Amino acid sequence: MILISMKLLYYLDNIMIRFSAAGIIFSLITLFACNGSASPMPIDFSNESEMSGFYASGHYNIDFPKFSTISIKYSASDNTEKELTLFTLKEDINEAPDFTKKDKFNTTKGYNPVYNRNYTGFSGAIGYSGGGLRVELEGAFTKFDVDKQKYTYQDNHRYFALCKGDTMENSTNGNYVVIKNEGFRVISLIFNACYDMIISNSSLVPSACIGVGQGISNFLGGTNIHTLFKAKLGLGFLMSAKTIVFANGYYVKMKDNSFTKLSVQYPIELKDAPKHIEPTAYFKADNYGAEIGLRFIL
């Protein structure tokens, strides 16, 4: 099931990147075509009907994580939810670690990884503009990878242990499992309602949007669907009545902060029941960022 989910996410990633790239290419081609046949007469930017119609847009995004620390819980044998204690691998390990040996992990509790900014974000939208008010369906792909920090060996920065107790025990009294953190990824589809403030005799167009939608996220090996809220403020520049270059700032809020179906590794057998756990991660995965893009009205 996990392999199928990963393949589906990879497939959706490719679709979203192609969709965004197609939006950018389509807008650029149309822009050059329109410029080649454009009228030398000045455009009346006060006429909102000139800006009405269906449109497509492509955006380049820079995203910044606004994440919380990770809390992970599991259902104990008495049907109560108990919190797992997290331990990181030691940074000075210069080989693939043997997870069966507890001395490969730090004794200090806690797991607080640093996530890198995303400089390769793309998004695209299709919608309808009524001149001032407009609505759109926006798709985006966002990824935040884990920073290596002081780790030197390959993927050692990605692993951490989840322990049933306050201290890790050896294999004869096994009380921990291991999870790999490959970063946070989300494919989103959001419905935005926007307002463009068209100013008479000005080519500048301030805008604001609010949106709600769904995101397919992949975190700690688990694929989940969450409700997303988005707010955007920006400024556009009218290159023609039908072509707008814009820059926006935005904030994305994830409604639910729980993640299930995590991919758990069992390097040792757990001594106490349950011997197989299905942990739930609680993790605030909001983000904010900036985008530049091109919108062409058909």
**pTM for the complete prediction?**
0.80
The per-residue pLDDT for 49 is 65
**Residue 226 pLDDT > 50:** yes
- Which 3 state secondary structure label does DSSP give 284? coil
- The mean pLDDT of the chain is 86
> Tens digits of per-residue pLDDT, 30-78?
344 444 444 433 444 455 667 789 999 999 999 999 999 999 999 988 8
Which residues make beta-bridge pairs with 258? 282
pLDDT band at 21 (very low <50, low <70, confident <90, very high): very low
Question: SS3 for 193-255, per residue?
Answer: EEEECCCCCCCEEEEEEEEEEEEEEEECCEEEEEEEEEEEEEEEEECCCCEEEEEEEEEEEEC
Please say whether the beta carbons of 149 and 157 come within 8 A: yes
> Tens digits of per-residue pLDDT, 176-201?
999 999 999 999 999 999 999 988 88
Plot region of 138 (φ>0 → left; ψ -120 to 50 → alpha; else → beta): beta
**Residue 90 pLDDT > 70:** yes
> Domains in the chain, ordered, with CATH?
2-38+52-297 (2.40.160.20)
The whole-number average pLDDT for the span 143-172 is: 92
The per-residue pLDDT for 170 is 84
The per-residue pLDDT for 52 is 86
The whole-number average pLDDT for the span 190-215 is: 94
The whole-number average pLDDT for the span 219-234 is: 96
pLDDT band at 138 (very low <50, low <70, confident <90, very high): very high
Length of the chain: 298
